[in-house]
Structure 1
Amino acid sequence: MLTKKQLDLLDFINKRVQRDGVPPSFDEMKEALDLRSKSGIHRLITALEERGFIRRLAHRARAIEIVKLPDSMAGKSGGFTPKVIDGDRPDGPRPAGAMPVGHVSAQEVPVMGRIAAGVPIAAISEVSHNVAVPTSMMRDGGEHYALEVKGDSMIEAGINNGDVVVIRESQTAENGDIVVALIEDQEATLKRFFRRGNAIALEAANPAYETRVFPEDQVKVQGRLVGLIRTY
Protein backbone atom coordinates (compact mmCIF):
# COMPACT_ATOMS: atom_id res chain seq x y z
CA MET A 1 0.00 0.00 0.00
CA LEU A 2 1.47 3.33 -1.06
CA THR A 3 0.94 6.69 0.58
CA LYS A 4 -0.42 9.51 -1.56
CA LYS A 5 3.03 11.14 -1.83
CA GLN A 6 4.64 7.85 -2.81
CA LEU A 7 1.96 7.27 -5.43
CA ASP A 8 2.29 10.84 -6.72
CA LEU A 9 6.05 10.46 -7.09
CA LEU A 10 5.78 7.10 -8.84
CA ASP A 11 3.18 8.55 -11.21
CA PHE A 12 5.40 11.56 -11.96
CA ILE A 13 8.48 9.40 -12.63
CA ASN A 14 6.46 7.06 -14.86
CA LYS A 15 5.01 9.91 -16.94
CA ARG A 16 8.42 11.51 -17.43
CA VAL A 17 10.01 8.21 -18.45
CA GLN A 18 7.19 7.56 -20.91
CA ARG A 19 7.51 11.10 -22.32
CA ASP A 20 11.29 11.61 -22.34
CA GLY A 21 12.71 8.11 -22.08
CA VAL A 22 14.64 9.10 -18.93
CA PRO A 23 13.63 9.73 -15.32
CA PRO A 24 13.37 13.25 -13.89
CA SER A 25 16.07 14.78 -11.71
CA PHE A 26 15.64 15.03 -7.94
CA ASP A 27 15.14 18.78 -8.31
CA GLU A 28 12.29 18.17 -10.76
CA MET A 29 10.74 15.60 -8.40
CA LYS A 30 10.99 18.04 -5.50
CA GLU A 31 9.30 20.78 -7.51
CA ALA A 32 6.57 18.48 -8.84
CA LEU A 33 5.64 17.27 -5.34
CA ASP A 34 6.05 20.75 -3.80
CA LEU A 35 8.57 19.56 -1.20
CA ARG A 36 11.02 21.86 0.52
CA SER A 37 14.10 19.66 0.33
CA LYS A 38 15.58 16.70 -1.54
CA SER A 39 15.66 14.68 1.67
CA GLY A 40 11.91 14.14 1.35
CA ILE A 41 12.43 12.81 -2.18
CA HIS A 42 15.17 10.47 -0.94
CA ARG A 43 12.78 9.04 1.65
CA LEU A 44 10.05 8.52 -0.94
CA ILE A 45 12.48 6.93 -3.40
CA THR A 46 13.75 4.57 -0.70
CA ALA A 47 10.20 3.59 0.22
CA LEU A 48 9.30 2.87 -3.42
CA GLU A 49 12.45 0.80 -3.84
CA GLU A 50 11.79 -1.19 -0.67
CA ARG A 51 8.28 -1.98 -1.94
CA GLY A 52 9.63 -3.20 -5.27
CA PHE A 53 8.16 -0.48 -7.51
CA ILE A 54 11.48 1.01 -8.64
CA ARG A 55 15.11 0.02 -8.86
CA ARG A 56 18.09 2.31 -8.50
CA LEU A 57 21.06 1.37 -10.65
CA ALA A 58 24.23 0.78 -8.64
CA HIS A 59 27.02 3.33 -9.09
CA ARG A 60 24.86 5.43 -11.42
CA ALA A 61 23.69 8.70 -9.90
CA ARG A 62 19.95 9.32 -10.06
CA ALA A 63 19.37 6.49 -12.54
CA ILE A 64 15.98 4.96 -11.76
CA GLU A 65 14.02 2.22 -13.46
CA ILE A 66 10.35 1.48 -12.82
CA VAL A 67 9.89 -2.23 -12.10
CA LYS A 68 6.11 -2.27 -11.73
CA LEU A 69 3.09 -0.02 -11.23
CA PRO A 70 0.04 -0.37 -8.99
CA ASP A 71 -2.94 -1.87 -10.83
CA SER A 72 -4.85 1.41 -10.64
CA MET A 73 -2.02 3.38 -12.24
CA ALA A 74 -1.36 0.79 -14.93
CA GLY A 75 -5.03 0.93 -15.81
CA LYS A 76 -4.99 4.71 -16.12
CA SER A 77 -2.01 4.73 -18.44
CA GLY A 78 -3.22 1.85 -20.60
CA GLY A 79 -0.44 -0.46 -19.44
CA PHE A 80 3.20 0.03 -18.63
CA THR A 81 6.05 -0.29 -21.09
CA PRO A 82 9.50 0.53 -19.67
CA LYS A 83 11.53 3.02 -21.70
CA VAL A 84 14.96 2.06 -20.30
CA ILE A 85 16.11 -1.25 -21.69
CA ASP A 86 18.83 -3.41 -20.12
CA GLY A 87 20.73 -5.52 -22.59
CA ASP A 88 23.85 -6.16 -24.57
CA ARG A 89 24.87 -6.18 -28.17
CA PRO A 90 24.05 -9.42 -29.98
CA ASP A 91 26.88 -11.93 -30.51
CA GLY A 92 26.01 -12.28 -34.18
CA PRO A 93 24.01 -10.54 -36.88
CA ARG A 94 20.22 -10.39 -36.56
CA PRO A 95 17.72 -10.22 -39.37
CA ALA A 96 16.55 -6.75 -40.30
CA GLY A 97 13.07 -5.56 -39.33
CA ALA A 98 10.95 -6.28 -36.30
CA MET A 99 12.04 -8.98 -33.89
CA PRO A 100 11.36 -10.07 -30.31
CA VAL A 101 13.71 -8.93 -27.53
CA GLY A 102 12.44 -10.95 -24.59
CA HIS A 103 8.71 -10.30 -24.89
CA VAL A 104 9.12 -6.87 -26.50
CA SER A 105 8.78 -6.27 -30.23
CA ALA A 106 11.85 -4.49 -31.53
CA GLN A 107 13.42 -3.13 -34.68
CA GLU A 108 17.02 -2.48 -35.59
CA VAL A 109 18.20 1.10 -36.00
CA PRO A 110 21.68 2.32 -36.96
CA VAL A 111 24.14 3.51 -34.32
CA MET A 112 25.65 6.59 -35.92
CA GLY A 113 28.62 7.01 -33.58
CA ARG A 114 29.18 8.90 -30.34
CA ILE A 115 27.44 11.98 -28.98
CA ALA A 116 28.93 14.18 -26.28
CA ALA A 117 27.11 14.59 -23.00
CA GLY A 118 29.78 17.02 -21.87
CA VAL A 119 31.98 19.25 -24.00
CA PRO A 120 30.75 18.87 -27.61
CA ILE A 121 32.70 16.48 -29.82
CA ALA A 122 32.85 16.29 -33.59
CA ALA A 123 29.61 15.07 -35.13
CA ILE A 124 29.82 11.53 -36.47
CA SER A 125 27.54 10.41 -39.28
CA GLU A 126 28.94 6.99 -40.18
CA VAL A 127 27.03 3.89 -39.11
CA SER A 128 29.14 1.74 -36.76
CA HIS A 129 26.59 -1.04 -36.13
CA ASN A 130 22.87 -1.61 -35.52
CA VAL A 131 21.02 -1.94 -32.24
CA ALA A 132 17.62 -3.49 -31.49
CA VAL A 133 15.17 -0.87 -30.19
CA PRO A 134 11.69 -1.63 -28.77
CA THR A 135 9.02 -0.44 -31.19
CA SER A 136 7.27 1.29 -28.28
CA MET A 137 10.05 3.90 -28.36
CA MET A 138 9.19 4.62 -31.99
CA ARG A 139 5.40 4.71 -31.75
CA ASP A 140 5.27 8.31 -33.03
CA GLY A 141 6.69 7.25 -36.39
CA GLY A 142 9.43 9.04 -38.29
CA GLU A 143 13.06 8.08 -38.81
CA HIS A 144 15.16 7.01 -35.84
CA TYR A 145 18.83 6.45 -35.11
CA ALA A 146 20.96 5.73 -32.06
CA LEU A 147 24.09 7.29 -30.59
CA GLU A 148 26.49 6.16 -27.89
CA VAL A 149 26.81 8.71 -25.07
CA LYS A 150 30.25 9.99 -24.11
CA GLY A 151 30.51 12.05 -20.93
CA ASP A 152 28.48 12.72 -17.79
CA SER A 153 26.81 16.09 -18.33
CA MET A 154 23.31 14.52 -18.52
CA ILE A 155 23.70 12.21 -15.54
CA GLU A 156 20.94 13.87 -13.49
CA ALA A 157 18.56 13.11 -16.36
CA GLY A 158 19.49 9.44 -15.98
CA ILE A 159 21.78 9.40 -19.03
CA ASN A 160 25.17 7.93 -18.26
CA ASN A 161 28.48 7.56 -20.04
CA GLY A 162 28.24 4.53 -22.34
CA ASP A 163 24.45 4.54 -22.66
CA VAL A 164 22.93 4.31 -26.14
CA VAL A 165 20.31 6.99 -26.74
CA VAL A 166 17.51 6.54 -29.27
CA ILE A 167 16.79 9.67 -31.29
CA ARG A 168 13.81 10.56 -33.49
CA GLU A 169 14.91 12.75 -36.37
CA SER A 170 13.47 16.26 -36.01
CA GLN A 171 14.51 19.80 -36.84
CA THR A 172 12.33 21.35 -34.13
CA ALA A 173 12.09 21.05 -30.35
CA GLU A 174 10.05 22.33 -27.44
CA ASN A 175 11.60 23.97 -24.39
CA GLY A 176 12.90 21.27 -22.05
CA ASP A 177 13.32 18.61 -24.74
CA ILE A 178 16.55 16.62 -24.70
CA VAL A 179 17.96 17.01 -28.18
CA VAL A 180 20.91 16.30 -30.40
CA ALA A 181 22.12 19.80 -31.26
CA LEU A 182 24.59 20.56 -34.05
CA ILE A 183 26.66 23.65 -33.21
CA GLU A 184 28.04 25.74 -36.08
CA ASP A 185 27.71 22.70 -38.38
CA GLN A 186 30.74 21.13 -36.72
CA GLU A 187 30.06 19.84 -33.22
CA ALA A 188 27.21 17.75 -31.85
CA THR A 189 26.05 17.50 -28.26
CA LEU A 190 23.19 16.03 -26.23
CA LYS A 191 21.52 18.66 -24.03
CA ARG A 192 18.21 20.13 -22.92
CA PHE A 193 16.91 22.71 -25.40
CA PHE A 194 15.60 26.14 -24.40
CA ARG A 195 14.78 29.06 -26.66
CA ARG A 196 15.63 32.48 -25.21
CA GLY A 197 14.49 35.16 -27.64
CA ASN A 198 16.85 34.97 -30.60
CA ALA A 199 19.24 32.63 -28.79
CA ILE A 200 19.32 28.93 -27.97
CA ALA A 201 20.42 27.68 -24.56
CA LEU A 202 21.82 24.15 -24.30
CA GLU A 203 21.53 23.07 -20.68
CA ALA A 204 23.34 20.18 -19.03
CA ALA A 205 21.81 17.98 -16.33
CA ASN A 206 24.90 18.16 -14.17
CA PRO A 207 25.79 21.22 -12.06
CA ALA A 208 29.45 20.81 -13.02
CA TYR A 209 28.64 22.04 -16.53
CA GLU A 210 27.54 25.54 -17.44
CA THR A 211 24.60 26.26 -19.72
CA ARG A 212 25.88 27.33 -23.14
CA VAL A 213 24.00 29.97 -25.12
CA PHE A 214 24.34 30.47 -28.88
CA PRO A 215 22.69 32.67 -31.52
CA GLU A 216 19.82 30.67 -32.98
CA ASP A 217 21.43 30.49 -36.43
CA GLN A 218 24.41 28.59 -34.93
CA VAL A 219 22.33 25.71 -33.53
CA LYS A 220 20.47 23.09 -35.55
CA VAL A 221 18.28 20.49 -33.89
CA GLN A 222 19.07 17.06 -35.34
CA GLY A 223 16.62 15.01 -33.31
CA ARG A 224 14.82 14.51 -30.01
CA LEU A 225 15.47 11.83 -27.40
CA VAL A 226 12.81 9.09 -27.23
CA GLY A 227 14.58 6.50 -25.09
CA LEU A 228 17.84 4.89 -24.05
CA ILE A 229 19.40 1.45 -23.86
CA ARG A 230 21.79 0.61 -21.06
CA THR A 231 24.42 -2.07 -21.63
CA TYR A 232 26.20 -3.86 -18.77
Structure 2
Amino acid sequence: MKLTRKQQHFFDYLEKKLVECGQTPSLRDAADDLGVSRNAVAQLIGQLERKKVIEREGRYSRSIRILQQLPEKQDREDRVRELPVVGQITAGLPMYAQQEWDGSILVDRTVFPGNNLFCLRICGKSMQDAGILDGDLVVCEPRQYAENGEIVAVLIQGEEATVKRFFLGEDYIELRPENKTFSAVRYPFSDILVQGKVTGVIRSYASR
Protein backbone atom coordinates (compact mmCIF):
# COMPACT_ATOMS: atom_id res chain seq x y z
CA MET A 1 0.00 0.00 0.00
CA LYS A 2 3.03 2.29 -0.02
CA LEU A 3 2.42 5.29 -2.25
CA THR A 4 4.73 7.04 -4.65
CA ARG A 5 5.59 10.67 -3.99
CA LYS A 6 3.00 11.88 -6.53
CA GLN A 7 0.33 9.58 -5.12
CA GLN A 8 1.07 10.70 -1.56
CA HIS A 9 0.87 14.37 -2.59
CA PHE A 10 -2.48 13.78 -4.30
CA PHE A 11 -3.84 11.78 -1.35
CA ASP A 12 -2.90 14.61 1.05
CA TYR A 13 -4.61 17.08 -1.31
CA LEU A 14 -7.83 15.04 -1.30
CA GLU A 15 -7.82 14.79 2.49
CA LYS A 16 -7.37 18.55 2.82
CA LYS A 17 -10.21 19.30 0.42
CA LEU A 18 -12.54 16.85 2.16
CA VAL A 19 -11.88 18.56 5.50
CA GLU A 20 -12.20 22.10 4.13
CA CYS A 21 -15.14 21.64 1.73
CA GLY A 22 -16.86 18.44 2.79
CA GLN A 23 -16.43 16.97 -0.70
CA THR A 24 -13.72 16.13 -3.17
CA PRO A 25 -12.95 18.56 -6.01
CA SER A 26 -13.91 18.04 -9.63
CA LEU A 27 -11.30 16.81 -12.10
CA ARG A 28 -11.06 20.35 -13.47
CA ASP A 29 -10.58 21.93 -10.02
CA ALA A 30 -8.03 19.34 -8.97
CA ALA A 31 -6.11 19.77 -12.22
CA ASP A 32 -6.09 23.57 -11.78
CA ASP A 33 -5.03 23.34 -8.12
CA LEU A 34 -2.23 20.88 -8.80
CA GLY A 35 -1.11 22.26 -12.16
CA VAL A 36 -1.60 18.97 -14.03
CA SER A 37 -3.95 17.67 -16.70
CA ARG A 38 -7.39 16.22 -15.96
CA ASN A 39 -6.18 12.91 -17.37
CA ALA A 40 -3.33 12.91 -14.83
CA VAL A 41 -5.83 13.47 -12.01
CA ALA A 42 -8.03 10.64 -13.27
CA GLN A 43 -5.02 8.34 -13.41
CA LEU A 44 -4.04 9.21 -9.82
CA ILE A 45 -7.58 8.51 -8.61
CA GLY A 46 -7.48 5.14 -10.32
CA GLN A 47 -4.10 4.32 -8.78
CA LEU A 48 -5.31 5.17 -5.28
CA GLU A 49 -8.44 3.10 -5.82
CA ARG A 50 -6.35 0.09 -6.83
CA LYS A 51 -4.26 0.53 -3.68
CA LYS A 52 -7.53 0.62 -1.70
CA VAL A 53 -6.92 3.91 0.10
CA ILE A 54 -9.88 5.69 -1.55
CA GLU A 55 -13.20 4.58 -3.01
CA ARG A 56 -15.57 6.19 -5.55
CA GLU A 57 -19.34 5.78 -5.50
CA GLY A 58 -19.56 4.65 -9.11
CA ARG A 59 -17.11 4.95 -11.98
CA TYR A 60 -17.88 8.58 -12.81
CA SER A 61 -18.92 9.83 -9.39
CA ARG A 62 -17.26 12.87 -7.88
CA SER A 63 -17.82 11.51 -4.35
CA ILE A 64 -14.63 9.95 -2.99
CA ARG A 65 -14.35 8.30 0.39
CA ILE A 66 -11.06 7.94 2.28
CA LEU A 67 -10.87 4.29 3.27
CA GLN A 68 -7.99 4.47 5.70
CA GLN A 69 -5.30 6.75 7.03
CA LEU A 70 -1.92 5.85 5.62
CA PRO A 71 0.48 4.29 8.16
CA GLU A 72 3.26 6.61 7.01
CA LYS A 73 1.15 9.68 7.77
CA GLN A 74 -0.04 8.30 11.11
CA ASP A 75 3.57 7.58 12.08
CA ARG A 76 4.52 11.18 11.33
CA GLU A 77 1.60 12.52 13.38
CA ASP A 78 2.41 10.23 16.30
CA ARG A 79 6.00 11.55 16.34
CA VAL A 80 5.00 15.21 16.60
CA ARG A 81 4.82 16.95 19.97
CA GLU A 82 4.24 20.58 20.95
CA LEU A 83 6.65 22.37 23.28
CA PRO A 84 5.91 25.73 24.94
CA VAL A 85 8.29 28.62 24.35
CA VAL A 86 8.72 30.33 27.71
CA GLY A 87 9.53 33.97 27.14
CA GLN A 88 13.01 35.02 26.18
CA ILE A 89 16.25 34.29 27.96
CA THR A 90 19.62 35.97 27.66
CA ALA A 91 22.93 34.42 26.62
CA GLY A 92 24.93 37.52 27.49
CA LEU A 93 23.85 40.05 30.09
CA PRO A 94 20.97 38.47 32.07
CA MET A 95 17.50 39.84 31.47
CA TYR A 96 14.21 39.55 33.30
CA ALA A 97 12.84 36.00 33.06
CA GLN A 98 9.35 36.10 31.59
CA GLN A 99 7.07 33.45 33.03
CA GLU A 100 4.32 33.49 30.40
CA TRP A 101 4.38 31.42 27.23
CA ASP A 102 5.65 33.06 24.07
CA GLY A 103 3.97 30.64 21.68
CA SER A 104 4.88 27.02 21.01
CA ILE A 105 6.80 24.91 18.51
CA LEU A 106 6.23 21.46 16.99
CA VAL A 107 9.14 19.03 17.24
CA ASP A 108 9.86 15.37 16.57
CA ARG A 109 9.42 13.46 19.83
CA THR A 110 12.07 10.92 18.76
CA VAL A 111 14.60 13.77 18.60
CA PHE A 112 13.39 15.48 21.78
CA PRO A 113 12.16 12.82 24.23
CA GLY A 114 11.48 13.49 27.89
CA ASN A 115 8.69 14.88 30.03
CA ASN A 116 7.56 18.50 30.45
CA LEU A 117 10.18 19.90 28.08
CA PHE A 118 10.10 23.62 27.39
CA CYS A 119 11.93 26.03 25.08
CA LEU A 120 13.69 29.31 25.75
CA ARG A 121 14.68 31.86 23.12
CA ILE A 122 18.29 32.99 23.21
CA CYS A 123 19.22 36.66 22.95
CA GLY A 124 22.96 37.28 22.75
CA LYS A 125 26.22 35.67 21.68
CA SER A 126 27.86 34.47 24.88
CA MET A 127 27.16 30.77 24.14
CA GLN A 128 27.99 30.79 20.42
CA ASP A 129 31.07 28.57 20.77
CA ALA A 130 28.76 25.86 22.12
CA GLY A 131 26.61 26.17 19.00
CA ILE A 132 23.89 28.24 20.72
CA LEU A 133 23.38 31.35 18.60
CA ASP A 134 21.43 34.57 18.93
CA GLY A 135 17.75 33.88 18.15
CA ASP A 136 17.95 30.11 18.64
CA LEU A 137 15.58 28.12 20.80
CA VAL A 138 17.12 25.87 23.44
CA VAL A 139 15.13 22.84 24.56
CA CYS A 140 15.28 22.32 28.32
CA GLU A 141 14.48 19.45 30.61
CA PRO A 142 13.05 20.81 33.89
CA ARG A 143 15.56 20.31 36.69
CA GLN A 144 16.58 22.06 39.90
CA TYR A 145 20.14 20.74 40.04
CA ALA A 146 23.12 20.57 37.69
CA GLU A 147 26.38 18.66 37.26
CA ASN A 148 29.68 20.42 36.63
CA GLY A 149 30.07 21.37 32.98
CA GLU A 150 26.39 21.07 32.04
CA ILE A 151 24.70 23.87 30.13
CA VAL A 152 21.70 25.01 32.12
CA ALA A 153 19.05 27.70 32.31
CA VAL A 154 19.20 29.47 35.66
CA LEU A 155 17.42 32.24 37.52
CA ILE A 156 19.67 34.82 39.14
CA GLN A 157 18.35 36.38 42.35
CA GLY A 158 14.87 35.15 41.47
CA GLU A 159 14.40 37.64 38.64
CA GLU A 160 16.99 37.45 35.87
CA ALA A 161 17.61 34.43 33.70
CA THR A 162 20.49 33.19 31.59
CA VAL A 163 21.90 30.11 29.85
CA LYS A 164 25.46 29.25 30.86
CA ARG A 165 27.76 26.34 31.67
CA PHE A 166 27.47 25.40 35.36
CA PHE A 167 30.35 24.82 37.79
CA LEU A 168 30.07 24.31 41.54
CA GLY A 169 32.74 25.75 43.85
CA GLU A 170 33.23 25.41 47.61
CA ASP A 171 31.06 28.39 48.45
CA TYR A 172 29.91 29.69 45.07
CA ILE A 173 28.41 28.77 41.71
CA GLU A 174 30.29 29.84 38.61
CA LEU A 175 28.46 30.45 35.36
CA ARG A 176 30.76 30.29 32.37
CA PRO A 177 30.04 31.58 28.86
CA GLU A 178 31.19 29.86 25.68
CA ASN A 179 32.66 32.97 24.07
CA LYS A 180 36.10 34.39 24.88
CA THR A 181 34.83 37.95 24.81
CA PHE A 182 32.62 37.22 27.85
CA SER A 183 33.81 36.52 31.40
CA ALA A 184 32.70 33.89 33.89
CA VAL A 185 30.76 35.19 36.91
CA ARG A 186 30.58 33.71 40.40
CA TYR A 187 27.48 33.88 42.59
CA PRO A 188 26.63 32.77 46.14
CA PHE A 189 24.46 29.66 46.31
CA SER A 190 21.45 31.69 47.41
CA ASP A 191 21.47 33.75 44.21
CA ILE A 192 21.14 30.86 41.75
CA LEU A 193 18.15 28.65 41.01
CA VAL A 194 18.58 26.04 38.28
CA GLN A 195 15.53 25.88 36.03
CA GLY A 196 16.51 23.17 33.57
CA LYS A 197 19.22 21.40 31.65
CA VAL A 198 19.67 22.29 27.98
CA THR A 199 19.14 19.10 25.96
CA GLY A 200 18.97 20.48 22.43
CA VAL A 201 19.01 23.50 20.15
CA ILE A 202 16.56 24.49 17.43
CA ARG A 203 18.31 26.76 14.98
CA SER A 204 16.70 30.03 13.97
CA TYR A 205 17.57 31.32 10.52
CA ALA A 206 15.43 34.44 10.71
CA SER A 207 18.33 36.72 11.51
CA ARG A 208 21.04 34.85 9.58
- Scaled by the length of structure 2, what TM-score is found? 0.60
Counterpart residue identity of residue 145, structure 2: T
Which deviations, in whole Å up to 9, do the C-alpha atoms of 1:137-174 show, x marking residues without a partner? 443x3311101110000000000001011011000110
Residue 123 and residue 99 in structure 1: after superposition, are their counterparts in 2 closer, same or farther (change >3 A)?
farther
Counterpart residue identity of residue 164, structure 1: L
The answer to whether the aligner puts 1:174 opposite 2:153 as a matched pair is: no
Output the CA distance in 1 between the equivalents of 2:155 and 2:91.
Answer: 13
Matched residues, percent identical? Answer: 38
Counterpart residue identity of residue 194, structure 1: F
2:29 aligns with none
1:231 aligns with 204
| 2:101 counterpart SS class | coil
1:202 aligns with 175
Aligned-residue offset at 1:132 = 1.2
Contact 1:201 1:214 in 2 (8 A): yes
1:131 aligns with 105
The answer to whether the aligner puts 1:100 opposite 2:109 as a matched pair is: no
The answer to whether the aligner puts 1:109 opposite 2:83 as a matched pair is: yes
Aligned alpha-carbon RMSD (Å): 1.9
User: After superposition, where does 1:47-62 map in structure 2 within 5 Å?
Assistant: none
Contact 1:137 1:226 in 2 (8 A): no
Aligned-residue offset at 1:198 = 1.9
1:89 aligns with none
| 1:206 counterpart SS class | coil
The equivalent position to 2:130 in structure 1, one of 143, 154, 157, is 157
2:156 aligns with 183
Output the CA distance in 2 between the equivalents of 1:170 and 1:210.
Answer: 25
Aligned-residue offset at 1:114 = 0.8
Residue 149 and residue 100 in structure 1: after superposition, are their counterparts in 2 closer, same or farther (change >3 A)?
farther
List gaps (5 residues or longer) in structure 2: 1-73
| 1:217 counterpart SS class | helix
Equivalent pairs, count: 132
Residue 216 and residue 99 in structure 1: after superposition, are their counterparts in 2 closer, same or farther (change >3 A)?
farther
User: After superposition, where does 1:67-86 map in structure 2 within 5 Å?
Assistant: none
Aligned-residue offset at 1:125 = 0.9
Aligned-residue offset at 1:133 = 2.2
Counterpart residue identity of residue 223, structure 1: G
Counterpart residue identity of residue 99, structure 2: S
1:86 aligns with none
1:73 aligns with none
Output the CA distance in 2 between the equivalents of 1:131 and 1:124.
Answer: 17
Counterpart residue identity of residue 176, structure 1: G
Residue 160 and residue 145 in structure 1: after superposition, are their counterparts in 2 closer, same or farther (change >3 A)?
same
| 2:145 counterpart SS class | coil
Output the CA distance in 2 between the equivalents of 1:185 and 1:116.
Answer: 15
Counterpart residue identity of residue 133, structure 1: V
| 1:143 counterpart SS class | coil
